Amino acid sequence: MKVVFERRLAPSKTASWVGLGVSIILALFMGSVIFLSVGANPLRAYGVMLLGAFGSLYDLSEVLVKAIPLMLCGLAVAVSAKIHIWNIGGEGQLALGGMGAAAVALFFAPHLPSFMAISLMVVAGFFAGGLWASIAGYLKAKMEVNEILTSLMLNYVAIYWMENLYFGPWKDPMGMGFPGTAIFPQSAWLPRFPETRVHLGLAFGIAAAIVLQWAFSRTRWGYEVRVIGENPKAARYAGIPISRHILWAMFLSGGLAGLAGLAEVSGIHYRLQQGLAVGYGYIGIIVAWLSRLHPMGIILGAIFLASILVGGDQLQSVMHLPSSVGLVLEGTLLFFVLGSDFLSRYRIKFIM
Amino acid sequence: MKGITKQFPGVLANDHVDLEIEPGKIHALLGENGAGKTTLMNILSGRYRPDEGEIVIGPKSVRFNSPKDALRWGIGMVYQHFMLIPNQTVAENLILGLDAPRFLLRRSKMKIEVERVGKSYSLSLAPDLFIDELSLGQQQRVEILKLLYRNVEILILDEPTAVLTPPEIDELFRTLKSIVRKGKAVIFITHKLEEVMEIADRITILRKGRVVANLLPEEVESRSELARLMVGREVVLKVDKAPVPLREIVLELRDCSGMDARGHLAFQHISFAVRRGEIFAIVGVAGNGQSELVSAITGLRPMRTGEVLLLGRSTGRGVPVPLESIGFIPEDRMGMGSLPNLDLVDNLLLTSYSRYCKGGLFNKEPLKKGLEGLLSRFGVVAPKIDVMARQLSGGNLQKLILARELSKDPRLLIAEQPTHGLDIGATEEIWKELIKQRESAGLLLISGDLREVLSLSDRIGVIFRGRLMDILSAEDVNRIGEIGPMMAGVKKGREDEGSL
């Protein structure tokens, strides 16, 4: 018997969703193999993860806490991917957003009412991340420098710059050597839902998703971005200014990742410190592709991946497995999801 | 080949086709676009596998899993799009894909080999030249040589004359004749009747995937009989053209020159004007600067010198001209003219969406009804308006682009190779629309198809090596015969005047 792959005339929507389901199952299966290899019972491990993520209202709230930066980073990736640009620099843009917000919190917030302080921090976080991404955007738009390389490299620059700040000039004088800035004044704290760590950043994420969903389908910008992403030659033929769109998309993308940084520093840590750049920028790539770049889908995708992260943490405390198992699972998931795209474009035929 | 059948999603490309190839003969495979000629030959050359049927060589039935398998059995094909590596030399391309040498390249030996094989078929080629320095005709010779070097017995050529000038065509025919004299077989895929009559020893006509006739050239009574067999009905291909009064100038070029993508001069000293009410055609063999000229007029590339006045406004600085007021049908309908993976609504709005934008807002939903009407008015056959553009056939896609460009009521329409690769039915419909458009617009038609140019245009400019050889009126019957030679650079008794 022979297996033949035949190209479909049009990508199939059904196959695309079936592929998504199959790839999640395959990823879980691969995860089982990994659990077995470290001597753990996969069923028990998944049980622990499930309970860890959804076992109580508090656990659920922790999932939402992690979903906030994932949502914003996922939207960041989606905005650039729609125009066919790979922004791999979410992590660095997130760091810059955190730095921008921290600058406002440390130097201006003490003299401002809370509403003003937070508004200013949002603007600073957005612009800092946006401008950082614009470096890669500018190089791409004007000189056709590969944005995958530049945006990735800029991550290292951003993270070292951030470390330099909290180890050096911005270091908390009373921190007894702890790597971080002083605690922000209370006026710079994002309000939280009572009894949880879920903060106002959730509203930012959901609002951004709604606005983007609308913008993609109902604005001139959305149409032009769709055309460029699908066929840049046709866009040029139709007179759409491609470079300008790339610059704006990169700025917007970086700005969203920057908001994630702001949300982390002023919603969770209340200071700029080690542990801000823990990979949300990269996981955002998985969120975006898992959700097939649909902004509203990204909300769900972010919650799903956050639950794997939170559940993965439980593996550490309950089963003494490394918490990075969660990251391994997410990597496997991306692997299969990207692979499953093949199913929507090809039909598998079995020939006797 | 016996009973060859090949099914593609949605089309039966070959339906129980039988074909016999004899050594020492040139076998013409004639048919319209989409008749299944290329598919059949892709099966013979190992690129596709048939769903049914078998290939028999001598007494043996063979199965090819790849073009390499077919080559081992002495069957090779020159594709329409050459498979050469541009930044390598002729000699390096020649050994591409060979098993020997395994490791070390001996350049001097390679050169001698190239010259030896070339000489035996009087195909002269300098082995050290890089492919991208060669003309298309020379590149084709490399492709042929590549196969001869591999000792093929059956040489398949897919529409080999499409990219050639008339003298190059003559040379190709001489080469093919010398190849068959050595006892090899040549299969010649074409849809041009004149060529068939000129060189074929046997003729097979395909229509809709089936063999409809198998003839010797002596048996053919007339070309129109061949055309009828090929198309399956009487071919008219005559368009009624009512005279239209000439109005203002909509496009004017004054002494323009411009470069190609590699920075070489592609066209120079081009001057002409197009008025509303006429079709002005630029005719030439592909690759003589006409596509660069169109790119420069529409602002996709900058002009180097000269002046362009488009609807009275000076353009030509490499900024794409806004397509709200002019219609532009680009040559590359998949790569530039459409959005293959987006729906027909998005495709229909590509050059006119800005008129439906209110501020930054743009909602395509309420436009769907009107666009459906537009599609049916232009006879675009599509299952639904939300299918993707790539699901349309070439002819339907071109009609869609035409519908989009004409729906803007343009005063200037630039149509680049508007019927290239389309079947006769679609060609007729597009011609009719273009003629009709002449009543309200000026048309610039760029075409390599002399028949098309003669049926449509009022005035004809012939382009060769980037220069306009001459501009003549379509009514100047005495001089129509000069167009063909001019496309090949030959200008009768008028050299003293120089080109424009």
pLDDT along chain B (500 residues), means of 10: 77 84 90 80 88 86 85 88 82 74 68 78 77 80 86 89 76 89 90 81 88 85 76 62 86 91 86 94 86 90 89 80 87 88 91 86 87 88 84 85 92 91 79 90 90 88 90 84 78 49
Kindly state the tokens that stand for B169: 């065509």
* Cβ–Cβ below 8 Å for A237 and B328: yes
Domain boundaries, chain B: 2-231, 238-325+410-500, 339-408
Residue A85: partners with Cβ closer than 8 Å, 6 or more residues away: A137, A140, A147, A246, A249, A250, A253
CB-CB neighbors (< 8 A) of A238 in chain B: 320, 323, 350-351, 353
CATH number of B238-325+410-500: 3.40.50.300
What is residue B495's predicted lDDT score, i.e. its pLDDT?
46
Q: State whether residue A11 sits within 8 Å of chain B by CB.
A: yes
How many other C-beta atoms lie within 10 A of the C-beta of residue A279?
Answer: 16
**For B50, which DSSP code?**
-
Residue B153: partners with Cβ closer than 8 Å, 6 or more residues away: B23, B74, B75, B184, B185
* Cβ–Cβ below 8 Å for A237 and B330: yes
Q: State whether residue A349 sits within 8 Å of chain B by CB.
A: no
Helix-helix angle A147-167:A114-143, to 10 degrees: 140
Q: Are β-strands B202-207 and B467-473 bridged in parallel, bridged antiparallel, or unpaired?
A: unpaired
Sheet-wide strand order for B442-447: B326-329, B412-416, B442-447, B279-283, B459-464, B467-473
Entry pTM = 0.79
> How large is the ipTM?
0.83
In the predicted model, is pLDDT for residue A255 greater than 90? yes
Contact A270, A80 (CB under 8 A): no
CB-CB neighbors (< 8 A) of A222 in chain B: 362
How many beta-carbon contacts under 8 Å exist across A and B? Answer: 77
Q: State whether residue B350 sits within 8 Å of chain A by CB.
A: yes
3-class SS at A207? helix
What is residue B500's predicted lDDT score, i.e. its pLDDT?
40
* Cβ–Cβ below 8 Å for A220 and B360: yes
Mean pLDDT of chain A: 91
* Cβ–Cβ below 8 Å for B350 and A238: yes
**For B449, which DSSP code?**
-
Contact B197, B220 (CB under 8 A): yes
Class of domain B2-231 (CATH, top level) = alpha beta
Task: Please report which confidence band the pLDDT of residue A317 belongs to, taking 50, 70 and 90 as the band edges.
Answer: confident
What is residue B46's predicted lDDT score, i.e. its pLDDT?
87
Give which of B6, B8, B350 to mutate to test A binding, by max A Cβ within 10 Å: B350
Kindly state the tokens that stand for B490: 């030959």
* Cβ–Cβ below 8 Å for A6 and B9: yes
The B residues from 387 to 416 touching A (CB cutoff 8 Å) are 387-388, 390-391
**In which region does residue B277 sit, left (phi positive, over 0), alpha (psi from -120 to 50) or beta (all else)?**
left
* Cβ–Cβ below 8 Å for A234 and B336: yes
In angstroms, rounded to a whole number, what is the distance separating the alpha carbons of residues B227 and B193? 7
Give percent of chain A above pLDDT 70. Answer: 96
What is residue B498's predicted lDDT score, i.e. its pLDDT?
41
Tens of pLDDT, residue by residue over A31-70, are 899 889 888 899 999 999 999 999 999 999 999 999 999 9
H helix or E strand, kind and range, residue A149: helix A147-167
Which has more confidence, A162 or B380? Answer: A162
Helix (H) and strand (E) counts for chain A?
13, 2
H helix or E strand, kind and range, residue B199: helix B193-199
CA dist A346 → A217, A221, B94, B389, B394 (Å): 27, 32, 34, 18, 22
In angstroms, rounded to a whole number, what is the distance separating the alpha carbons of residues A172 and A170? 6
Question: Which of B221, B136, B208 is CA-nearest to residue B448?
Answer: B136
Give which of A219, A237, A244, A293 to mutate to test B binding, by max B Cβ within 10 Å: A237
* Cβ–Cβ below 8 Å for B335 and A11: no
- By CB atoms closer than 10 A (0-12, 13-18, 19+), residue A308 is buried
What is residue A9's predicted lDDT score, i.e. its pLDDT?
63
